[in-house]
Copies of this chain bind each other. A is one copy, B any other.
């Protein structure tokens, strides 16, 4: 993409209300726009490219878990939410509105009700189970105080996976599989997350875990064992020593990037979702749910992958593979590179200083500079965003050298 034609505008200053590093950099580098109101963002071309890469990465793991993708309504009628009593217990954060027939609707902040309604009509016998259904789509929360950029918002894109089982043991087995898939997803995004025992909150479930990115600026307060793997959200425990190994627990802060729940029969009971077992007996369907907020994940990646100059994207979710900086015309090199890579081509009529600063801010993993000086040596200059080393590479060897 030619930068001169792109909806990319970097800012020297972040808006005053931006406190989190991710908020500042994502706005300054032109990934998101504060749009129009607190906690509501537009994803600009750079930001949307990252979101689509994150979505693809998650989608591929969901498919590997035999997940089937669906797309569910945002507008959900009151009666569905009344069945689980969450019309009241989730207000806040449920957004409510009336249609022209004066009927109340909620804007989906989660989709247990809608999907359980589909599944209770679909499932007849144990043969119809298990079922693994997921969605990647926008959701809404009527937050009082939307702060921290993409970390706490009123409109957001979530991946939610819902699983339905005949037996509790089957739910438990699948839950472990999802847990491992989540570790893989976060690792692919360059995040080291801690699995933390947590509260089910308004979603529910006795066994639930959060994937927390340990980070001094995180909103969540955690207790982490200094010896074993134990970790717990202080919401549900104030223990002073580790229940597993009796070692000391240390306090830490984290950003929650994923949350998985063994819901058991909570929704099946409330919404009468049954199956017939092998003996012809009616049983309640067991359910699990598993969420990742994509925008928050993008922000968390920035929280941990940056330096003083800007973002440093992990390779597989970067908006582009290569940032080609032209100090002289480099159309030919751009065309050649574009056949094999995703290239942002800085063909703007700007000074080298502005171009280099923008490249550091935007954070594409590989920078290639073409200047009179490099061309005099039939070369281009290559630099990785996360390294200081600059390398001259002959143009004729360029494509090969990039595959290393």
- Distance A275 CA – B157 CA, assembled complex (angstroms): 33
- Distance A35 CA – B5 CA, assembled complex (angstroms): 42
Residues from chain B with Cβ under 8 Å of A376 in the complex: none
Interface residues of A in 83-100 (CB under 8 A from B): 92, 95-97, 99-100
B36 touches A80 (CB 8 A): yes
A75 touches B131 (CB 8 A): no
Residues from chain B with Cβ under 8 Å of A70 in the complex: 7, 42-45, 48
- Distance A274 CA – B97 CA, assembled complex (angstroms): 36
Interface residues of A in 347-377 (CB under 8 A from B): 349
Answer whether A68 and B7 are a contact pair too, CB < 8 Å, given A36-B77, A74-B74, A95-B99: yes
Looking at the complex, which one of B33, B75, B130 makes contact with A40 (CB distance below 8 Å)?
Answer: B75
- Distance A103 CA – B33 CA, assembled complex (angstroms): 20
Looking at the complex, which one of B1, B6, B35, B71 makes contact with A43 (CB distance below 8 Å)?
Answer: B71
A155 touches B43 (CB 8 A): no
Residues from chain B with Cβ under 8 Å of A144 in the complex: 100-101
Looking at the complex, which one of B1, B42, B69, B77 makes contact with A45 (CB distance below 8 Å)?
Answer: B69
A-B contact pairs, 11 of them (CB 8 A): A7-B131, A35-B73, A35-B117, A36-B114, A42-B71, A43-B70, A45-B69, A48-B70, A73-B155, A74-B138, A74-B155
Contacts beyond the supplied A33-B118, A43-B71: 16 A-B pairs with Cβ under 8 Å: A7-B131, A35-B114, A35-B118, A36-B73, A36-B76, A42-B114, A42-B118, A44-B70, A44-B118, A45-B69, A48-B69, A74-B74, A95-B97, A99-B142, A99-B154, A137-B138
Residues of A at under 8 Å CB distance from B? 1, 4-7, 9, 33, 35-37, 40-45, 48-49, 51-52, 66, 68-77, 80, 92, 95-97, 99-101, 103, 105, 107, 114, 117-118, 122, 127, 130-131, 133, 137-138, 140, 142-144, 154-155, 157, 349
Pick the 10 closest A-B CB pairs, nearest first: A97-B97, A43-B71, A45-B68, A37-B77, A40-B73, A42-B72, A100-B144, A75-B155, A48-B71, A36-B77
